[in-house]
Amino acid sequence: MTGSTKKPRGAVLLDLDRSVVGSEFDRTVLDPVTADEIREYASFTGEPVGVNKAGIMTAPASFVLRMRGKRFMPRNLPDLGRSGFDAGKDIEILGDVHPGDVLTTVSTVHDLYEKTGRSGAMTFLVLRSVITNQKGERVAVIDQRMMFR
Amino acid sequence: MASPKTHKNDLDVGNDLLRLRITLSSEQVRGYAVAARMPGGRFESDAAAQREGLPGQIVPGNLSIALFCRLIAESLPGAKLQRLNATFRGIVRPGEPLSLHGVVTERREETSGVFLECDLVLESTEGERRVTGTATVLL
Amino acid sequence: MILDLHTHSEASEDSRAPVETYLKWLARKRDLLPIDGIVLTEHRQWNPNVDYRHLEDQYGILILRGAEVETDYGHILLYGVNDDIAGRFDFTNVRLPAQEVISEVSRLGGIAVPCHPGRPTIGLWEHYQTKPKLEDVVAVEALNGGSRRGENERVQELIDQHGYHGFGGSDSHLVSLIGVCATEFDEDVRDIDHLVQALHRGCYRAVDFRPRLVAARDGNAA
């Protein structure tokens, strides 16, 4: 995934203020991951909890979705509509998560565009979260598409 | 294994992943939302979701993604998920029987290993696709 | 000759399907999906510089290009996009005037045809319940592979009432969904100009390959 903030493919913003695109709106250092959190999370998804070659517990792949910063949405958004829904995600998994890891999530506004669908006219806000561990290694990059109408 | 008949290392374009049939309970959805640190009445109960203008309690998109991850993990044991993309096309409700399945669309042999690209679908029993996605997996 | 007239590659923001992977899939599934060509109809964009001839040569599958634009009567597929058409309309505008699109695209050498007309909000059928009929509509997408139960059925009413020709397309955003619905032409279509002329002439029909795919899947599972 690139860090591009250029105008998205095939989208127009008729009355939307794109000045928010590219802005960082949250940087949070999360509490250390615990083994109990990993096990509890996996108990609801049915994903396996792994063990790496060194015998250390490894969180399931989707566990990175749990890493939310203090702010879920940027403060200075234009008026996008009455309600927002998760429209989808692109996740790049770059490393494992283990108990004891201290993860930092940095979130930016990656994109803002408009399209029409079954629900009518919709505005899409794409928020990018880059998650790194205590060694500065990237663990995941998550692009979340929020749909407003 | 992706199919009872095919070892994962032999998987190629057109081979199906396993098919999972799952019905999520209201408690499971609520429990996931707590475990995944997802605030929002819409995941807690019908009443709270209806106050937000929804027909009733809904399944978080993240849980649908987790189910895709589970499909990959069960179909391709030991494989490492590299990328996953999901598009939420319709509301998923607890109590609704769901079918998850996937198919290999590409196989690439690179110096770092064998990569599979897969299409993933979560649909109702009537075949209505609620979540679609793709995954890149390193065998 | 069978063409999938409605497909999206990763150039569309909601698709993750590379063009070459589409072709590999079709080559592998030839017995179930006898598709001779595809038309890439990306959302709200037109890139004149894209060239897939090397892939056509390699895979023996015709690759044509169009666009899917959004209008006040729902979504419309454009075929035969040229510099004049691309310059006349802003494809990124989600509120294009449908009548103008249909008339002007035809005048400028292409053809504009409503897609998934049975779909709520972005399909022609619903708009016809409250708005005047569009002039110069030649054909509509009778079979769309992404439509939900009842949506394709509603289109027949439109076709019967207004005498439109009906074509088919997969509306694929995933590799494995390409070609599930398509259009069977009575004539050879060799390039985009042939396609535009053939769509005007009406000698084609929508074809549905989903039943054979289901039968093959159920047969494998047995």
Domain boundaries, chain C: 2-221
Q: Considering CB atoms only, which of A37, A65, A92 is closest to B65?
A: A65
C13–A113: do the CB atoms touch at under 8 Å? yes
Chain B CA closest to residue C146: B129
Task: Answer yes or no: is pLDDT of B124 > 70.
Answer: yes
Q: How many helices (H) and strands (E) does chain B have?
A: 3, 5
Tell me how many residue pairs between chain A and chain B have CB atoms under 8 A apart: 83
Sign of CA dihedral A103, A108, A111, A115: positive
**From CA C87, how far away is CA C219, in angstroms rounded?**
51
Q: Does A117 touch chain C (CB under 8 A)?
A: yes
pLDDT recorded at residue C107:
98
Q: Does B105 touch chain C (CB under 8 A)?
A: yes
Interface test with B, best of A33, A51, A62, A145 (most B CBs within 10 A): A62
Phi, psi values for residue B38, rounded to 5°: -110, 100
Q: What is the arithmetic mean of pLDDT over A78-105?
A: 90
- What 3-state class would DSSP assign to C138? coil
**From CA A76, how far away is CA A60, in angstroms rounded?**
34
Task: Answer yes or no: is pLDDT of C53 > 80.
Answer: yes
Q: What is the arithmetic mean of pLDDT over A44-63?
A: 95
Written as six digits, the tokens of A33 are 């991951």
Task: Answer yes or no: is pLDDT of B19 > 90.
Answer: yes
Give pairs for A119-125: CB < 8 Å, separation 24+.
A119/A147, A119/A149, A119/C121, A120/A149, A120/C121, A121/A149, A121/C94, A122/A81, A122/A147, A122/A148, A122/A149, A123/A16, A123/A80, A123/A81, A123/A147, A123/A148, A123/A149, A124/A11, A124/A87, A124/A148, A125/A77, A125/A80, A125/A84
Answer whether B119's CB lies under 8 Å from B71's CB.
no
| b/e map A62-84, b = 16+ CB within 10 Å | bbbbbbbbeebebeebeebeeeb
Answer whether C22's CB lies under 8 Å from C182's CB.
no
Burial of B113 (0-12, 13-18, 19+ CB in 10 A): exposed
Sign of CA dihedral C165, C166, C169, C171: positive
Domain spanning C2-221, CATH architecture: Alpha-Beta Barrel (3.20)
Q: Does C119 touch chain B (CB under 8 A)?
A: no
Contacts with A147 from chain C: Cβ below 8 Å:
none
Non-local CB neighbours of B5 within 8 Å, separated by 6+ positions: none
Non-local CB neighbours of C216 within 8 Å, separated by 6+ positions: C32
Q: Which of C2, C6, C1 is nearest to C177 (CA)?
A: C6
Domain B8-24+59-138: give its CATH superfamily.
Hotdog Thioesterase (3.10.129.10)
C44–A10: do the CB atoms touch at under 8 Å? yes
Bridge partners for B88 per DSSP: B131
State the Rg of chain B over Cα. Answer: 16
* Cα of C127 vs its chain's centroid, Å: 20
Q: Considering CB atoms only, which of A10, A11, A118 is closest to C122?
A: A118
Phi, psi values for residue C101, rounded to 5°: -60, -50
Residue B121's CB is within 10 A of a number of other CB atoms, namely 22
B16–C25: do the CB atoms touch at under 8 Å? no
Q: H or E element: which one contains A112?
A: strand A104-117
Please, where are the H alpha helices in A30-130?
35-45
**What does the DSSP 8-state code read for residue C121?**
T
A10–C92: do the CB atoms touch at under 8 Å? yes
**How far B60 CA sits from the closest chain A CA (Å)?**
8
pLDDT recorded at residue A11:
41
Q: Which of A148, A146, A84 is nearest to A120 (CA)?
A: A148
**How far B31 CA sits from the closest chain C CA (Å)?**
30
Find residues 77-116 of chain A whose CB sits inside 8 Å of chain B.
Answer: 83, 85-93
B16–C173: do the CB atoms touch at under 8 Å? no
C121–A14: do the CB atoms touch at under 8 Å? no
Q: What is the arithmetic mean of pLDDT over C130-138?
A: 97
**How far C152 CA sits from the closest chain A CA (Å)?**
14
Burial of C178 (0-12, 13-18, 19+ CB in 10 A): buried
Tell me how many residue pairs between chain B and chain C have CB atoms under 8 A apart: 37
Written as six digits, the tokens of C137 are 């509509």
Per-residue pLDDT tens over the stretch A61-85: 999 999 989 988 887 776 776 678 8
Find residues 58-87 of chain B whose CB sits inside 8 Å of chain A.
Answer: 60-63, 65-67, 69-70, 72-73, 80-87
| b/e map C89-116, b = 16+ CB within 10 Å | bebbebebebbebbebbbebebbbbbbb
Chains linked to B by 3 or more Cβ pairs within 8 Å: A, C
Q: pLDDT class for A113, splitting at 50, 70, 90?
A: confident
Q: pLDDT class for C60, splitting at 50, 70, 90?
A: very high
Per-residue pLDDT tens over the stretch B53-103: 899 999 999 999 999 999 999 999 999 999 999 999 999 999 999 999 999
Chain A CA closest to residue B26: A44
Interface test with C, best of B5, B6, B11, B13 (most C CBs within 10 A): B13
Per-residue pLDDT tens over the stretch C80-93: 999 999 999 999 99
Answer whether C152's CB lies under 8 Å from C142's CB.
yes
State in words which class domain A18-32+68-148 has. Answer: alpha beta
Contacts with B82 from chain A: Cβ below 8 Å:
92-93
Answer whether C12's CB lies under 8 Å from C169's CB.
no
**What does the DSSP 8-state code read for residue B77?**
T
**How far B134 CA sits from the closest chain C CA (Å)?**
7
Chains linked to A by 3 or more Cβ pairs within 8 Å: B, C
Burial of C198 (0-12, 13-18, 19+ CB in 10 A): buried
B13–C16: do the CB atoms touch at under 8 Å? no
**How far A119 CA sits from the closest chain C CA (Å)?**
7
State the helix-helix crossing angle for B61-75 and A35-45, rounded to 10 degrees. 90
Higher pLDDT, B119 or A114: B119
Q: Which of C76, C78, C175 is nearest to C127 (CA)?
A: C76
Residue A33's CB is within 10 A of a number of other CB atoms, namely 22
pLDDT recorded at residue A9:
38
B65–A60: do the CB atoms touch at under 8 Å? no
Find residues 200-219 of chain C whose CB sits inside 8 Å of chain A.
Answer: none
pLDDT recorded at residue A18:
76
Amino acid at position C157, single letter: E
pTM score, two decimals?
0.91
Answer whether C170's CB lies under 8 Å from C207's CB.
no
pLDDT recorded at residue A8:
39
